[in-house]
Chain A
């Protein structure tokens, strides 16, 4: 009742999931209406493909992140794992292709199977490494996966240079993948990725809410000591969690490689781990562990990608510039609302004291700058961006000042 983590297996649609669903629908409708071209209503198919593809990619990694977070851990290495898996996949393809084939078009079905298998295996290896670092060396999960976040990408780059040199006689920072199978994957990426994502979501949901292992994951995350003293082999449960986390990232790596027709370990999927964790958190996972659901994470990923897409529609800016800001704001808001829901109205004031006084202009300045930049992308406001920004900033300042005043009056 008080947490969506109650893994009873029955159908109790918790409040949190409903709230995200409502927010998703609201963002969709409002954007479709405000957007001058009404893209969502007029030309739905195009937006749909972008949103679905991005949601599936983010969601696959987020499912892995959720399992790790529910088990009370954290996996910071997902982005590097994506790059590592993509590189592994491409390198095995290189080895299976004809020696002088630098576009990898000559790989047969066995080679493709070997490459995909190797990429997935690399996920299991990294997951096992994480578990060993955490359970045997007793590194905190944050440190263990921070080490692999930094280390794996570099490892993948070194691997790339080494194999290309051995195979082709010249080092290459990247490998182009024009294998027909992966080209086919790219052509049908939306439906294949979305389908994979949904199947993976259902499997994860079954594991988490309907199996003994899933219950043990919640127990481990909720109270590790008690779980051990209840006879749960906590190390093995962690082994599953970290392998699952790395395996989903590895799967995403294969898709991302196919999608971009290139494996470029230096830049591929940088920062994906944080977006995945953000999706899980927006979906209701608690970083303290023991709380979270698959429907929540799926909706969290969808919501994040929809908002990113909506902003790019509204202010005609390229989505990736604003992506980080949007994710940041949504995470902060989502967790705020969850906490407000849990804490109830306990008389906690937002802007009391000197800290509150300093926070008001801080927020106003950020809002003003953001509004100015956003206005630059809106035709109707050309030439008046500064004025618009100052207006928005001033309005924020006033509003927050009124909130502060009301709070202090309410308190006394």
Chain B
């Protein structure tokens, strides 16, 4: 059988970096082929080559046995290759139907837009994908999972033979992941070849027929799923065995530093009426409090309210060291010893135009001031500590932050907050989009900080992470606190039940 796509010695260089080198492997028609690798291993670059986003590379790509050289995504689409990017490409103001047919709008006999036809077709497509949304809904108001299905609907309507999915589950709830799994099975039933990029082993082993592992821009191996184990794959990905994490037993929580009593955050204009309802919790020095919950359960809002970053319309009480506080601005929370690492690193954390040192020193710049002016040497000395402590791999303190991998960027942001010497650290899904190796390092770091007396609230979209790191886990469901477990009593099953139990799921 001719492979539907074949890579032959493909290489790609960016200024100063070899992103891919001598990559060769084949995709067979109708298979689900997973690409695994740490961030920075070259997965995304490879996919950009195949989908025509990047046009300049060495080696060759064959589609159905024919060498091709795409000059843009349109060429790739014409060849039947579609990509669902990690960051979705939708026009938020346009309707779901308009997005599906963007650039290929159906027209009536007189050349006007035929909205009715597009909406009808879109409804059919979306129904097949178990996506019960009205095609007239603006894409921007859909949930992330539905937006992704919208992109898949677009690819399906293009009659694509090869569908590339770049970490499709990174923003999905478990129910949405299950739905996506079913969609993938159905697409494969039609003979669509799926190229599935992920570093989540459970997904890869659930879905893939074959697995190709990339490391540092090279192919380590391609294996059948049945002949390998997740442990072996992660080993190939990082090039080393990962020590398993179990930090518990010797961590002893101290005094209560933060207490929430009946915290309620209204949500004007939303049918539910609140983002958080009557949430009470306690946080002690030297412990990690895990916050579980599905997308939209109020995890981020909880942290933002504590940090003074939410609308100041909340009611209830926040007690810091026993004193009632109400922060109107994150600056006040910082001054009181609270730090927050935001969920969406690119949008809410990074300063792409500033260098590494400036990104790290930002919150504690006053310490780098000598007689009124910033001192370059003081700033370098200031950031050297956190850069070392968090283990950031950077060419130097004045390198561009955008040149670092996601994990290293995240470490820089954590370093930024460590510099302010907080007593409470709020971590909002800190390992999202970070590779396995960097994750392990972050776990060790969080554990060490805790042992030094820091109080941590950690949210995560991955339950194993909470089970690994947290001393206690609280569960939010639709803004309410539905359960609290000490770690020893918590299981994924129990947490999921509490996270979904309150849900009376109404289709949108």
Contacts and interface: CB of A to CB of B under 8 A. Distances in A.
Contacts of A147: none
Given A210-B374, A212-B365, A233-B329, A228 B309 contact: yes
Nearest to A7: B358
Interface in A268-292: 290-291
Interface string A1-31: 1110111111000000000000000000000
Interface string B365-381: 11001001111100100
Interface stretch (B346-354, B444-452, B477-485, B497-505): B346-354
Contacts of A411: 71
A347 B75 CA distance: 14
B331 A233 contact: yes
Contacts of B309: 228-229
Given A1-B400, A223-B351, A229 B330 contact: yes
Given A2-B400, A219-B351, A229 B376 contact: no
Nearest to B374: A210
Contacts of A221: 353
B354 A7 contact: yes
Measured as residues with beta carbon below 8 angstroms from the partner, the interface class of chain A is 35 or more
Closest 3 CB pairs of A and B: A231-B334, A290-B353, A231-B331
A218 interface: yes
B373 A6 contact: no
Nearest to B308: A231
B369 to A, nearest CB: 6
B400 A212 contact: no
Given A228-B330, A290-B353, 12 more contacts: A2-B403, A8-B379, A8-B398, A210-B373, A212-B369, A218-B358, A223-B350, A226-B342, A226-B349, A229-B340, A231-B330, A232-B331
B426 to A, nearest CB: 11
Interface in A214-267: 214-216, 218-219, 221-223, 225-233
Nearest to A233: B331
B362 A215 contact: yes
Measured as residues with beta carbon below 8 angstroms from the partner, the interface class of chain B is 35 or more
Interface of B: 15, 55-56, 71, 307, 309, 329-331, 333-335, 340, 342, 347-355, 357-358, 362-363, 365-366, 369, 372-376, 379, 398-400, 402-403, 416
A37 interface: no
A262 B334 CA distance: 52
A209 B365 CA distance: 13
Contact of B354 (A219, A229, A346, A347): A219
A212 B358 CA distance: 11
B374 A6 contact: no
Interface in A311-345: 344-345
A347 B71 contact: yes
Given A1-B399, A226-B349, A215 B333 contact: no
A225 B347 contact: yes
A214 B402 CA distance: 21
A200 B400 CA distance: 29
A364 B338 CA distance: 62
B501 to A, nearest CB: 32
Chain A interface, >50% SS class: loop
A5 B416 CA distance: 20
A6 B376 CA distance: 12
Given A10-B376, A231-B330, A231-B334, A222 B362 contact: no
Contacts of A9: 373-376, 379
A223 B365 contact: no
B349 A218 contact: no
Given A3-B353, A8-B357, A231-B363, A212 B348 contact: no
A382 interface: no
Interface in A378-407: none
B373 A222 contact: no
A362 interface: no
A10 B307 CA distance: 34
A5 B352 CA distance: 10
B353 A211 contact: no
Contacts of A2: 400, 402-403
B355 A230 contact: no
B266 to A, nearest CB: 20
B352 A215 contact: no
A206 B373 contact: yes
Given A1-B399, A212-B366, A347-B71, A226 B354 contact: no
A219 B15 CA distance: 26
Contacts of A212: 365-366, 369, 374
Given A6-B398, A215-B358, A230-B362, A346 B56 contact: yes
B56 A5 contact: no
A290 B307 CA distance: 25
B363 A211 contact: no
Contact of B349 (A8, A214, A229, A345): A229
Contacts of B342: 226, 229
A7 B368 CA distance: 14
A6 B403 CA distance: 14
A206 B357 CA distance: 19
A221 B358 CA distance: 14
B430 to A, nearest CB: 14
A63 B393 CA distance: 37
17 contacts: A2-B403, A7-B358, A8-B355, A206-B373, A219-B362, A221-B353, A222-B353, A223-B348, A225-B347, A226-B350, A229-B330, A229-B349, A230-B330, A230-B362, A233-B329, A344-B15, A347-B55
